[in-house]
Amino acid sequence: MKKKFTGVLIVAAGKGIRSKSIIPKQYLHFGNQSVLGMNIANFLREPLIDFIQVVINKKHVAFYKEAIGKIDSIKLLPFCFGGKTRSHSVKNGLEAIANKDCTKILIQDGARPFTSSKIIRKCIKGLDKFDVVFPGINIPDTLYLKKKESSRDTISKLGPSRDSLIRAQTPQAFRFDYIYKRHMSSSEHYTDDVNLAFLDNKKIEIIAGSEYNFKITTQEDIKIAEKLF
């Protein structure tokens, strides 16, 4: 029987503008470990993962080589370059592994270094029953829509019920053939890949995410990550 491979696509081509950091957030170092290096290591440790493809920015080759300097694993494939948008970067990454006989693919944010083994395994195993699996977080806070009034932020109106909302995290798991063909046929930009599956009425499962599984985006996130590292 032909082996069924499970891969990970780590999208790390962003410039990190929102974090206001001189160094792109995925390459920040805390102690002797980089954000991206730890992210890669989380997946390398998983027996269910066969290979990892990282997508980087063309201007970040030196950063990337430093980040993986201590990693020695045949599971880590040569990097490929991303595009102008996240969707373009995902597409480039999927094209790079199109000949790997991959059946399951996890798409992960480059600046999300604290993903647990439990989340990774649930995403992979969930694909045995569902088309798409991803971790989500319930929202405990009251929501409002805001507006600008005399150069300050204030309330426009009450937001939707928090009980009907979740925050989507990564990794987001897909059958490779589906998400590959979907990206190849699309020129639209999406903030995540579950969006595509939702538009196609795919069978989607939400598993329990974790507050620790956050994406480093702001200066405050950097301070929290530093303490966790």
Who's near 159: CB < 8 A, 6+ residues apart? 142, 143, 144, 145
User: Percent of the chain at pLDDT above 90?
Assistant: 89
Domains of the chain with bracketed CATH: 5-135+167-228 (3.90.550.10)
pLDDT > 90? residue 187: no
pLDDT digits (tens, 9 = 90+) for 44-99: 999 999 999 999 999 999 999 999 999 999 999 999 999 999 999 999 999 999 99
pLDDT band, residue 157 (cuts 50/70/90): very high
Tell me the pTM. 0.94
pLDDT digits (tens, 9 = 90+) for 168-180: 999 999 999 999 9
